[in-house]
Amino acid sequence: MINPLRPLNTLLLLLCAGFSASALAHNPMCECKAIDAEQIKCTGGFSDGSGAPGVTLDVIGYDETILVPGKLGADSTLTFKKPGAEFYVLFDAGPGHVVEIDQADIQAP
């Protein structure tokens, strides 16, 4: 005999699996600080505490040219020379996981 509640149980199981996957989602985080007048250090990661080694972090001019192409190192950081032109930093860990930091928001030493 087929259990009449089986379709309902299956649906509940699928719904719970969907909610648990969204509960495990993590948001990208990136912070940049000026080390001195010439150098800037950016650190990237995720809200669940995980790092982001190998994630793309580019320094882009306001005219959309890439001034400093880069990837975060094993310690999830990248240090670069401050460009002479106006710029922003783009942390790009994939669709939905992007952070932009304008030069005006970079903390002074």
Is residue 3 situated within a structural domain? no
Is residue 16 situated within a structural domain? no
pLDDT, position 109: 84
pLDDT, position 17: 45
pLDDT, position 18: 45
Is residue 59 situated within a structural domain? yes
Greatest Cα pair distance in the chain: 77
Is residue 1 situated within a structural domain? no
For residue 38, give the CATH number of its domain. Answer: 2.60.40
In which domain, by residue range, is 65 found?
26-105
List C-alpha distances in Å: 64 to 61, 67, 68, 100, 107. 5, 9, 12, 13, 22
Mean pLDDT by 10 residues, the chain (109 residues): 52 43 71 97 96 98 97 98 97 96 93
Instruction: Give the chain's domain count.
Output: 1
Is residue 9 situated within a structural domain? no
The neighbour count for residue 94, using CB atoms within 10 Å, is: 9
pLDDT, position 16: 47
Is residue 43 situated within a structural domain? yes
Is residue 20 situated within a structural domain? no
pLDDT, position 107: 87
Task: Please tell me the pTM assigned to this model.
Answer: 0.76
